[in-house]
């Protein structure tokens, strides 16, 4: 039989673990010697990434590309929706901003995207041995079925078999799987070739009777039960359980990240969470910032709205008081803009608020403009003596920018980073700012903590302030991620019938 090019993972709902299991399959196929790529026709996420071509895509497909051992490409995620309000989103097509749309406007627009999706999928299919396709939400959302381009509509475009995933941790997994399948049309049901029960805790033997009954009811085999594992791999979006984690660590420096309503790219802090010397938590409006060594204001898809949230909830005062008590304050992208004296939006890029005072911790002013900066950069942190109270050589950093605003520095702020490379071309300009006392700084660079040397210096500075021993070895994020992907693949192989999955790909399992 001719090998199928694609296999698709769909879920009974959002956040059932499709992204992680897609990454698992990508790593397994790579380990088994295949050229594999992920693909998700439409993703809704505030966590995004800028490719080498300056194109924007969802972080979930970046993780899956890493698991496949290939460079991320916007072709893996041709449509990205970034919510800007309750009923509106910025629509990004093939890595570039198209326009803002309401939910109803986008629903009417979707049919125009079908040909583009088909062409991109066929291009990937012709370039790789296997395409692992991820769905979104649930295929049983019957109100959205007519113009579907991401679930069964995508399976039809790719002529792909489907594996259906259910989340047992939420409860009602048998009902959700049965209900999903029963709401599908007959031709759609025939595409479902296997079921995976995900996020299991406990003894599988207790499940066995239910698994057999489910198979009889839907006439689809259960390929396995995937347990929770001791894994630390980036989550897709703000539905993550990561925000709830606040494990206490003895003698650890305390890092508080502000959980903004429109928080974006919280993946920036993934590596910090892995450090044994750090206790990291996400702070919301109901929390107090107490005894923090470092307070981080992250990126935001709607900076002025999130700044208003800080002021309405009193978190602005919590941040300022924490600064007065000696904490270091660090802002990334939108968080960097909020640290300044003012934010201006004369063209209503973000909304109806034309201007708002910032937190006033940095002598900078930001103005929002219509064009979006999307670029990869490299450079050096040259204000190390100011920030880290040391005379060490400039620290090399790299990252990517995704922002609408332009920021000007006042006389009481110094540039933080000297940018020397933009994409692969030489550059000579400055990014970010630091105050005169070196305890408030910000940057537009997402991914700056992924650089082990920079993170090491930040952590060591905080450790020294606490009178604790320095850490000598920089963080090897690449090696850490590789280990986690391999652990994920091993866990998948141990619990899911890969022979059956290969049979599905070979068209031999009915």
Give the dihedral sign, CA 297/302/304/306.
negative
Active site residue 446: yes
Cα separation, 202 vs 72, in Å, equals: 36
Phi, psi dihedral angles at 222 (to 5 degrees)? -85, 120
Cα separation, 23 vs 38, in Å, equals: 8
CA angle 184, 186, 187 (to 5 degrees): 100
Cα separation, 132 vs 35, in Å, equals: 11
DSSP string of 121-172, one letter each residue: HHHHHHH-SEEEEE--S-TT-GGGGGG-SSSHHHHHHHT--EEEEEEGGGS-
Instruction: Tell me the longest C-alpha to C-alpha distance in the chain.
Output: 73
Question: Beta strand pairing status for 433-435 and 413-414?
Answer: antiparallel
* Closest to 316 (Cα-Cα) out of 343, 342, 297, 294: 297
Phi, psi dihedral angles at 254 (to 5 degrees)? -105, 125
**Cross-strand partners of 200:** 227
Cα separation, 397 vs 380, in Å, equals: 6
Looking at 26, 333, 403, 418, which residue is catalytic? 333
CB burial readout 377-391, b (16+ within 10 A) else e = bbbbbbbbebbbeee
Looking at 270, 323, 418, 446, which residue is catalytic? 446
Cα separation, 309 vs 262, in Å, equals: 10
DSSP string of 377-419, one letter each residue: EEEEE--HHHHHSS-PPPEEEEEEEEEEEEEEE-TTEE--EEE
Helices (H), 412-497: 452-465, 477-495
* Closest to 431 (Cα-Cα) out of 398, 464, 480, 468: 398
CB-based contact 240:279 (threshold 8 Å): no
Cα separation, 62 vs 388, in Å, equals: 32
Cα 81 to chain centroid distance, Å, stands at: 13
94: left (phi over 0), alpha (psi -120 to 50) or beta: left
Contacts of 250 (CB under 8 A, 6+ apart): none
CB-based contact 97:372 (threshold 8 Å): yes
Q: Kindly list the catalytic residues.
A: 333, 446
């Amino acid at each position: 039989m001719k090998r199928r090019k694609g296999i698709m993972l769909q879920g009974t709902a959002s956040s059932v673990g499709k992204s992680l299991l897609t990454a698992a399959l990508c790593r397994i196929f790579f380990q088994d010697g295949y050229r594999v790529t992920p693909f998700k026709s439409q993703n809704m996420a505030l966590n995004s990434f800028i490719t080498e071509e300056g194109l924007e895509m969802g972080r979930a497909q970046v993780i899956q590309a890493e698991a496949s051992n290939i460079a991320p490409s916007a072709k893996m995620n041709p449509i990205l929706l970034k919510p800007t309000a309750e009923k509106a989103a910025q629509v990004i097509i093939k890595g570039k901003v198209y326009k803002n749309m309401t939910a109803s406007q986008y629903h009417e627009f979707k049919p125009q995207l079908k040909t583009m999706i088909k062409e991109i999928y066929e291009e990937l299919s012709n370039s790789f041995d296997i395409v692992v396709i991820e769905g979104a939400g649930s295929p049983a959302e019957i109100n959205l079925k007519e113009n579907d381009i991401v679930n069964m509509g995508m399976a039809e475009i790719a002529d792909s078999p489907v594996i259906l995933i259910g989340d047992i941790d939420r409860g009602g997994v048998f009902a959700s799987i049965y209900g999903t399948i029963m709401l599908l049309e007959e031709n759609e049901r025939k595409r479902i070739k296997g079921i995976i029960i995900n996020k299991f805790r406990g003894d599988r033997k207790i499940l066995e009777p239910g698994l057999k009954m489910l198979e009889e009811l839907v006439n689809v085999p259960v390929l396995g039960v995937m347990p929770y594992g001791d894994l630390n791999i980036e989550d897709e979006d703000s539905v993550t359980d990561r925000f709830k984690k606040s494990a206490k660590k003895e003698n650890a420096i305390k890092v508080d990240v502000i959980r903004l309503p429109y928080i974006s790219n919280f993946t920036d802090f993934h590596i910090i969470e892995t450090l044994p010397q750090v206790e990291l938590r996400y702070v919301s409006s109901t929390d107090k910032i107490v005894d923090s060594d470092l307070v981080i204001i992250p990126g935001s898809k709607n900076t002025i709205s999130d700044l208003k949230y800080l002021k309405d909830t009193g978190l602005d005062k919590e941040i300022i008081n924490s600064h007065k008590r000696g904490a270091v304050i660090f802002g990334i992208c939108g968080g960097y803009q909020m640290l300044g004296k003012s934010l201006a939006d004369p063209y209503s890029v973000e909304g109806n608020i034309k201007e708002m005072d910032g937190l006033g911790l940095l002598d900078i002013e930001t103005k929002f403009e219509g064009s979006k900066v999307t670029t990869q950069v490299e450079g050096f942190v040259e204000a190390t003596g100011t920030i880290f109270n040391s005379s060490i050589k400039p620290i090399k950093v790299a990252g990517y920018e995704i922002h609408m605003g332009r920021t000007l520095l006042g006389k009481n702020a110094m540039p933080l980073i000297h940018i020397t490379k933009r994409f692969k071309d030489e550059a000579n300009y400055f990014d970010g700012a630091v105050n005169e006392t070196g305890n408030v700084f910000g940057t537009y660079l997402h991914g700056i903590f992924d650089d082990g040397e920079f993170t090491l210096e930040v952590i060591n500075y905080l450790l020294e302030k606490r009178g604790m021993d320095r850490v000598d070895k920089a963080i090897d994020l690449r090696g850490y991620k590789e280990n986690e992907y391999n652990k994920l693949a091993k866990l998948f192989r141990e619990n899911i019938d890969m022979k059956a999955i290969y049979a599905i790909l070979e068209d031999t399992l009915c």
